Structure 1
């Protein structure tokens, strides 16, 4: 990702913070109503974590979380949220350009891997390899299904095809989003 993209994301996250919109811990979209699928605890990876809502939510449930994002502003907001919620010691924040893959310190294995609102098909095999046996994958991306096309949108069936070596638990494609919950056998 070019430096102008990093600056754009920094500006976007800083503007949300300046507007006073609070960030609260929240489960990943695809997991809402299915929280029972989470392992009891373990290690988690939050890819393109933004302001840390999911990372902190996982930390509050006992996970040790590696949270990765390109935006320093987002990571600072996430670290502040984690500290405010008493989960600061459970999350490691990684400033990293995901166009270069995952940071070297995020090799796994992870009991939960979350990737929400970031799509890079080249990263899909890496995310699958990071999962521990029995690990849960939670992915949500923009989709052409029910929406117009675009370079950041997944084609129909992209997620189940990309993660075919995992056991699917839930898959949806509608209203411009595609989600997959899957478990490593």
Structure 2
């Protein structure tokens, strides 16, 4: 990612200031599906920003690695994990996802909120452990103007068709998907997705 982009994100997070513990909640798109979110294991939060989702997952019981291009966001995320009492279950690193996913073993959950890079789709699928959960939400062309960073109609469902779809939706400029990696490539039936 260009240095200009990094500076822009740093300035955005600097102007917001550190996050407050009382703002910790699951991402809105994930709230109806909390029953499928694991309470143990390892998670990866891509473009984690100030660490809201990562720290929420750590409070839920997971060990979470969050990565973001902005050192300011990472500083805020680390502070939030300390204030929330879960710093031992959180690791935050400055990382440019233009270089691919950070190295590491398979994880039980990947969350990607308000970030989309089509080049990472295959790597995201490969990084999920068998039965691992993917929760992704990004800007969409559905209900909004087309744009470079907006998913086209049906894009997330198509991109992650290899996973068992739990739920998906798009509208009002947003698209989201919750899906699970198959435990066995041959014997896992596709579930019927729920739409909102």
TM > 0.5: yes
Q: CA RMSD in A?
A: 1.2
2:2 aligned with 1:5, yes or no? no
Q: Show structure 1 runs of 4+ deviating over 6 A.
A: none
* 1:167-182 mapped onto 2 (5 Å cutoff): 167-182=164-179
Alignment partner of 1:34: what SS? Answer: helix
Higher relative contact order (CA 8 A, sep 6+): 1
Aligned residue number for residue 152 of structure 2:
155
Q: Residue deviations 1:58-85, cap 9 Å, x none?
A: 0001100010100000010010010001
Aligned residue number for residue 192 of structure 2:
none
2: CA distance, partners of 1:79 / 1:49: 11
Aligned residue number for residue 111 of structure 1:
108
1: CA distance, partners of 2:134 / 2:27: 11
Alignment partner of 1:75: what SS? Answer: helix
1: CA distance, partners of 2:71 / 2:97: 13
How many equivalent residue pairs? Answer: 181
* 1:92-171 mapped onto 2 (5 Å cutoff): 92-104=91-103, 107-171=104-168
Which sections of structure 1, spanning at least 5 residues, go unmatched?
Answer: none
Q: Residue deviations 1:98-149, cap 9 Å, x none?
A: 1111122xx3311110011111000111111111111110000100001111
2: CA distance, partners of 1:6 / 1:150: 20
TM-score, normalised relative to structure 2: 0.89
* Contact 2:19/2:80 (8 A) holds in 1: no
Q: Residue deviations 1:148-180, cap 9 Å, x none?
A: 111110101100111111000000011001100
Aligned residue number for residue 30 of structure 1:
29
* Contact 1:94/1:103 (8 A) holds in 2: no
* Contact 1:60/1:87 (8 A) holds in 2: yes
Which sections of structure 2, spanning at least 5 residues, go unmatched?
Answer: 183-196
